[in-house]
Structure 1
Amino acid sequence: MDNSPPFPELARNIMCGRITQHRKATAYLTEMGWDASALGEQAGRRSPSWNVPPSSSPWLMHRLADGREHMDLVHWGYRPSWAAEKGLPLAINARIEKAASGAFFRPHWKSGRAIVPADGWYEWTGEKGHKQPWYIRLRSDQPMFLAALTSYRPGKEPDENTGFVIVTAAAEGGMVDVHDRRPVVFSPEDAALWMDNELPPEQAEYLARSTALPPDAFEWYKVTRDVNRVGNDGVHLIEPA
């Protein structure tokens, strides 16, 4: 009997289940080379955070149909209506190995490529009840740009199926010791290309596979278990334990 899931891109090997966006929104815009006018009204009112979980609404960067740049608040998590009817789980990540061709994400690979600006993400190791959180960031401690797919469309009223997922790839090098998956992280230049509406889906897949920043661009270290509680926030969460 084939016990594989009906939609392999949803295999629940969850990673990158918590991120930080502790800089001001304008810092990410500046790093990307965008003007402050790209900041949506609601997005401009959101405060930075050191503990951003799924089902919240972090900053998301994308290009409008006319090519203009925009940053909005978008729900982290996605499930199309047909998947909800089948009882499939809400997704927070999309595995690059299947996302470009799988039914769940394929439409958004073509016209819903976006970027989650972040400063780092958390992973956990160890047994249940004794898990140790780790914080992963760029060695330069610069903002990072995570590949995402979204069903959000500016000008269209969001509904219960509106949201985004972070695109993940297999971890490499020493990063495997923390988790066997990692988000696809771009340089600002490649992030801009990923969001280009004129970039064909197959070229976007090549971009994600070939230009994601390598493990040696990152550093990771243990942090306080206070991050385990979603309601906790503050700079102490990313200080070495």
Structure 2
Amino acid sequence: MPAGVRRRLLSRPYNDARTFFIYHHSRRPLFMAVLGRVIFNTEHGQEGFVILTSSSDQGIVNIHDRRPVVLTPEGARDWLIQDVAEEEACEIIRRSAVSESEFCWHRVGVKFGSPHNQGAELIEEIRVAQ
């Protein structure tokens, strides 16, 4: 699933709602690994998808203890193969997952998360007095 940004609302250890603009340091699009309705040939009768996540282990852990698995563009192309087996999917993630060290983030206002709000000002960093 291509995405330009990712946000988290729960900031640790404060347990209050904070919104963050999270992006690749090069500002290139992010490709998150997702599983759709039919997962590895298992029909479950539901629509939708699941974003695969990984543990946060660097600076982003201060925002949230999980993060989406983000793939390189080449890995995303391989991920889209319809008949990929579970073992192949795991190998794609192992060789194509983007390191957490390649992400940047900053705090933004709460209007950022709504599709009703538009404009570049939504991703401007807000400074909060400590």
The two structures have a TM-score, normalised by structure 1, of 0.44
Residue 226 (1) aligns with residue 111 (2): yes
- Which of 127, 131, 139 is equivalent to 2:15? 127
Q: Is the 8 A contact 2:3 2:32 kept in 1?
A: yes
In the TM superposition, what is the alpha-carbon distance from 1:127 to its structure 2 partner? 3.2
Q: Secondary structure at the match of 1:136?
A: strand
Q: Which residue is 2:64 aligned to?
A: 179
Once residues 96 and 62 of structure 2 are traced to their aligned partners in structure 1, the CA distance between those partners, rounded to angstroms, is 22
The amino acid that maps onto 1:202 is E
Q: Which residue is 1:216 aligned to?
A: 101
Work out the number of aligned pairs and report it. 117
The amino acid that maps onto 1:164 is F
Q: Which residue is 2:86 aligned to?
A: 201
The amino acid that maps onto 1:201 is E
C-alpha offsets along residues 183-206 of structure 1, whole Å, 9 cap, x if unaligned? Answer: 010111011111123432112123
Alignment of 1:1-241 (within 5 A): 116-124=1-9, 125=11, 126-128=14-16, 131-151=17-37, 161-227=46-112, 229=114, 231-241=116-126
- Larger-gyration structure (1/2): 1
**Larger RCO of the pair (alpha carbons < 8 Å, separation 6+):** 2
Q: Secondary structure at the match of 1:204?
A: helix
Once residues 113 and 5 of structure 2 are traced to their aligned partners in structure 1, the CA distance between those partners, rounded to angstroms, is 15
Once residues 34 and 2 of structure 2 are traced to their aligned partners in structure 1, the CA distance between those partners, rounded to angstroms, is 10
Q: Is the 8 A contact 2:37 2:48 kept in 1?
A: yes
C-alpha offsets along residues 82-134 of structure 1, whole Å, 9 cap, x if unaligned? Answer: xxxxxxxxxxxxxxxxxxxxxxxxxxxxxxxxxx1111111121334xx2211
Identical pairs, percent:
32
Once residues 172 and 210 of structure 1 are traced to their aligned partners in structure 2, the CA distance between those partners, rounded to angstroms, is 18
Distance verdict in 2 for CA 1:235–1:161, change over 3 Å: farther
In the TM superposition, what is the alpha-carbon distance from 1:228 to its structure 2 partner? 5.1
Once residues 185 and 213 of structure 1 are traced to their aligned partners in structure 2, the CA distance between those partners, rounded to angstroms, is 6
The two structures have a TM-score, normalised by structure 2, of 0.78
